[in-house]
């Protein structure tokens, strides 16, 4: 693709969107439009050589303003967070459907060449995720549909919207189901953070405070796979540019760990052992979820490969620097 064509990243003030803009800049793209609802002061990464705009993409006129003149659209915009947020804000999560709807309508209106939608592993049927020692989820496991209430339903509906805009209006869409993305320049406190960042923060705070215990949501046996941000950004672009990934596809690591094992890693990085207090009343999500990467390996001859240990160490160091800088 020409580095001169205009690319829109919706949700560019967020964690994944900021990293995507940074990577596109590194590749030499000079015509980038970054859009987010947050004021510039709250963007995780912001670059002066990019066309930065504060817009509510849930509004039709704002979506049209964002898309006009763009050849490619990455829709990473959503009102979301970790399990604590999505279990307690179902209506807000559902309202995100307006963002993808209006961006797709604008993409049709302005003849966008390629449109990427960031879906989630939360679309998968709950009945497939009741056991921590589960079989990894394949793409077909999203049906019969029974996704995460609120957030998962919105993601699944928006996947269908992409499909039908392709079928009926010839808008070329690509959909990736993200599995637990983590890394530096992301949320690590405040209630919207995901498990890797939350665990790193808790270990760091325990070490700095001298209070050597940690609260873990659930019994610690629930399992997940966690994908480092660099793999997510690379996979996202591979999927958008692919000519044969025509269906929603997993984008996640196949390295499954329990939450207890995640804590083990963070403790090892921090050089500390903590007393574990299990909060069985806290939101914990499904018992088990992991990405089956058979399809992405077949279609792209690639899968996320950065190990959890390597990625978590980089994330821990960044969060440590952030926390200690605020204390200084």
Q: For residue range 100-128, what is the model confidence (pLDDT) as tens digits?
A: 999 999 999 999 999 999 999 999 988 88
Structure confidence at residue 161 (pLDDT): 98
State residue 82's pLDDT score: 63
Phi, psi of 175 (to 5 degrees): -130, 130
How does strand 173-178 pair with strand 114-120?
Answer: parallel
The residue annotated as part of the active site, out of 44, 117, 124, 151, is 151
CA-nearest of 163, 181, 182 to 172 is: 163
Q: Which residues contact 223 (CB under 8 A, 6 or more apart)?
A: 132, 133, 134, 256, 257, 258, 259, 287, 288, 289, 290
Query: What integer best gives the mean pLDDT of the chain?
Result: 93
What's the whole-number mean pLDDT along residues 41-46?
A: 96
Q: For residue 300, what pLDDT is reported? A: 98
| DSSP class of 138 | P
pLDDT digits (tens, 9 = 90+) for 237-262: 999 999 999 999 999 999 999 999 99
pLDDT given for residue 1 in this prediction: 56
According to the model, what pLDDT value does residue 81 have? 66
User: Which position has the higher pLDDT, 194 or 317?
Assistant: 317
Is 182 designated active site? no
Q: What percent of the chain has pLDDT over 90?
A: 81
CA distance 128 to 235: 25
Q: Measure the CA dihedral 222/223/224/226, to 10°.
A: 100
Q: Is the pLDDT of residue 288 over 80?
A: no
Q: How confident is the model at residue 2 (pLDDT cuts 50, 70, 90)?
A: low
| 223-to-41, 258, 326 alpha-carbon distances in Å | 35, 4, 32
Mean pLDDT for the stretch of residues 284-288: 74
């Amino acid at each position: 693709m020409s580095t001169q064509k205009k690319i829109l990243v919706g949700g560019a003030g967020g964690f994944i969107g900021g990293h995507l803009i940074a990577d596109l800049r590194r590749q030499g793209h000079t015509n980038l439009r970054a859009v987010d609802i947050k004021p510039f002061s709250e963007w995780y990464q912001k670059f002066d050589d990019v066309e930065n705009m504060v817009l509510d993409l849930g509004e039709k006129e704002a979506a049209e303003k964002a898309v006009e003149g763009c050849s490619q659209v990455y829709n990473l915009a959503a009102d979301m967070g970790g399990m604590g947020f999505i279990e307690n804000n179902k209506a807000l999560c559902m309202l995100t459907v307006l963002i993808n709807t209006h961006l797709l309508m604008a993409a049709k209106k302005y003849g966008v060449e390629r449109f990427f939608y960031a879906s989630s592993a939360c679309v998968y049927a709950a009945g497939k995720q009741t056991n921590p020692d589960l079989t990894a989820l394949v793409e077909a496991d999203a049906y019969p549909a029974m996704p995460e209430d609120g957030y998962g339903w919105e993601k699944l509906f928006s996947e269908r919207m992409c499909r039908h805009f392709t079928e009926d209006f010839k808008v070329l869409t690509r959909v990736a189901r993200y599995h637990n993305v983590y890394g530096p320049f992301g949320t690590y406190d405040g209630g919207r953070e995901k498990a890797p960042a939350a665990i790193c923060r808790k270990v760091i705070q325990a070490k700095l405070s001298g209070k050597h215990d940690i609260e873990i949501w659930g019994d610690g046996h629930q399992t997940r796979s966690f994908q480092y941000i660099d793999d997510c950004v690379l996979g996202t672009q591979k999927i958008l540019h692919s000519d044969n990934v025509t269906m929603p596809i997993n984008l996640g690591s196949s390295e499954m760990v329990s939450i207890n094992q995640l804590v083990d890693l963070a403790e090892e990085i921090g050089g500390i052992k903590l007393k574990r207090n299990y909060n069985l009343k806290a939101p914990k999500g499904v018992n088990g979820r992991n990405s089956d990467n058979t399809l992405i390996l077949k279609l792209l001859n690639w899968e996320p490969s950065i190990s959890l240990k390597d990625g978590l160490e980089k994330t821990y160091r960044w969060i440590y620097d952030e926390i200690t800088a605020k204390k200084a």
